[in-house]
């Protein structure tokens, strides 16, 4: 056999071994993926079964694990929830999750609308959106990070004796949550929020933008213990703003706490941005209070374009500067 023929033979054998190795590797990977998918499917069904007790019913309709070959995730045709003790039920459209096989603890999810909520003594609420997606870095007892974004959000209420009533629309809503030691940090934004005039009894407000940055003390422990009340809890509002056009509005910051009786205590600071323009907006929205609004804000305008005032709440009684505002209801 010539040397050229020997080289061709060796090359053929190498190619054959390489092809065989690829087939075995892919076959083994496929077996592993489907084994993992089967295990995930059993665990999902087990967790749902564990939740379905004491009057709670949670259903992921037609659950299926998908994503082969490089992703893995849970898909449901729709999701349904009911709590007979609280007399509340909810349902939404298709639910999808996905994680890379090599990063199973980093997951993304999407939920299709509409979300319908029925509760005692409330009209049926419906929320719909163009896109709702979230991402999470999974950990125990809380995700290391959870982010949710909703685009083109709209809400409406339906009463038994009338047609659905629009509530609001918003261009974009974002929420971010992360544990910070034993506390929980929460941040969020909303842009292009428009409250329907029917909700405001025919009054009109311009589109609003808002943001929040706050922390809940011992929030991780609250979640771990399954607490359902904020009584005895405390936290800090680093920034809470509501503006029109980004230049006119109000900002709030400071610590707060709620005692065992549900009464709020807080030492806050309120900053008014562009008080003259804010006075005009509020006077148009509440014309019957126009003289009082103009008088109050003319005094604020003397202090500058962004005056700040202390807002004190002691056992539920609120005072802005030296002006009593009334009583904040107790938290249940």
Quickly state the pLDDT bin for 210 (edges 50, 70, 90). very high
Alpha-carbon gap, residue 193 to 196, rounded angstroms:
10
Mean pLDDT of 296-317: 87
Give the global pTM: 0.86
C-alpha span between 132 and 98 (Å, rounded): 14
Report the pLDDT value the prediction gives residue 234, as an integer from 0 to 100: 95
Task: For the chain, report the end-to-end CA distance as a whole number of angstroms.
Answer: 93
Q: Residues 5-16: what's their mean pLDDT?
A: 61
CA distances from 96 to 44, 52, 107 (A): 13, 21, 10
Alpha helix (H) ranges present in the chain? 3-51, 219-225, 275-285, 290-302
pLDDT band at residue 48 using 50, 70 and 90 as cut-offs = confident
Q: How many other β-carbons are positioned within 10 Å of the β-carbon of residue 192? A: 14
For residues 156-170, average pLDDT? 87
Residues 6+ apart with CB under 8 A from 305: 273, 274, 275
115-157 pLDDT per residue, tens: 999 998 888 999 999 999 999 988 877 788 999 999 999 999 9
Distance of CA 105 to the CA centre of its chain: 20
Close Cβ partners of 212 (under 8 Å, ≥ 6 residues apart): 186, 187, 188, 189, 237, 239, 240, 241
Residue 247 pLDDT: 87
pLDDT at 203: 83
pLDDT of residue 1: 47
Q: What is the DSSP letter of 93?
A: S
Q: Averaged over 102-108, what is the pLDDT?
A: 86
Q: Return the pLDDT at 217.
A: 94
Residues 301-306, mean pLDDT to the nearest whole number: 84
Among the ranges 9-18, 44-53, 169-178, 278-287, which has the highest mean pLDDT value?
A: 169-178
Determine the average pLDDT of the residues in 273-285: 89
DSSP reduced 3-state for 272: strand
- Longest distance between any two alpha carbons in the chain, whole Å: 109
What is the SS3 assignment for 277?
Answer: helix
Please report which confidence band the pLDDT of residue 7 belongs to, taking 50, 70 and 90 as the band edges.
Answer: low
| Residue 328 neighbours by CB under 8 Å, 6+ apart | 263, 264, 313, 316, 317, 318
Which of the residue ranges 93-102, 197-206, 212-221, 222-231 would you say has the lowest mean pLDDT? 222-231
DSSP-assigned letters across all residues of 184-242: EEEEEEEEEEEE-TTTTTT-----EEEEEEEEETTHHHHHHHT----TT-EEEEEEEEE
pLDDT at 4 > cutoff 90: no
Most confidently predicted of 126-135, 152-161, 217-226, 283-292: 126-135
């Amino acid at each position: 056999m010539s040397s050229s023929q020997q080289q061709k033979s060796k090359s053929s054998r190498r190619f054959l071994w390489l092809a065989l190795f690829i087939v075995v590797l892919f076959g083994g990977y496929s077996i592993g993926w489907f084994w993992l998918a089967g295990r995930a499917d059993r665990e999902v069904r087990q967790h749902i079964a564990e939740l379905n007790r004491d009057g709670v019913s949670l259903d992921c309709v037609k659950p299926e694990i998908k994503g082969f070959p490089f992703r893995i995730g849970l898909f449901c045709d729709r999701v349904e929830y009911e709590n007979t003790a609280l007399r509340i039920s909810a349902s939404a459209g298709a639910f999808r999750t996905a994680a890379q096989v090599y990063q199973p603890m980093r997951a993304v999810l999407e939920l299709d609308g509409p979300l319908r909520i029925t509760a005692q003594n409330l009209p049926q609420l419906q929320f719909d959106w163009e896109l709702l997606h979230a991402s999470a870095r999974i950990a125990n007892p809380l995700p290391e990070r959870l982010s949710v974004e909703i685009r083109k959000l709209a809400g409406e209420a339906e009463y038994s004796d009338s047609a659905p009533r629009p509530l609001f629309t918003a261009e974009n809503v974002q929420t971010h949550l992360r544990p910070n030691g034993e506390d929980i940090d929460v941040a969020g934004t909303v842009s292009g929020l428009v409250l329907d005039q029917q909700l405001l009894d025919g009054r009109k407000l311009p589109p609003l933008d808002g943001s929040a940055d706050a922390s809940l003390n011992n929030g991780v422990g609250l979640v771990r213990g399954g607490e359902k009340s904020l009584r005895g809890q405390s936290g800090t509002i680093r920034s809470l703003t509501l503006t029109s056009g980004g230049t006119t509005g109000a900002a709030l910051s400071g610590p707060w706490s709620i005692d065992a009786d549900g009464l709020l205590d807080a030492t806050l600071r309120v900053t008014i941005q562009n008080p003259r323009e804010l006075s005009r907006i509020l006077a148009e929205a509440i014309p019957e209070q126009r003289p009082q609004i103009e008088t109050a804000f003319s005094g604020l305008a003397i202090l500058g374009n962004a005056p700040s005032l202390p807002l004190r709440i002691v056992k539920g009684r609120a005072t802005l500067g030296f002006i009593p505002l009334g009583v904040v209801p107790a938290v249940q």
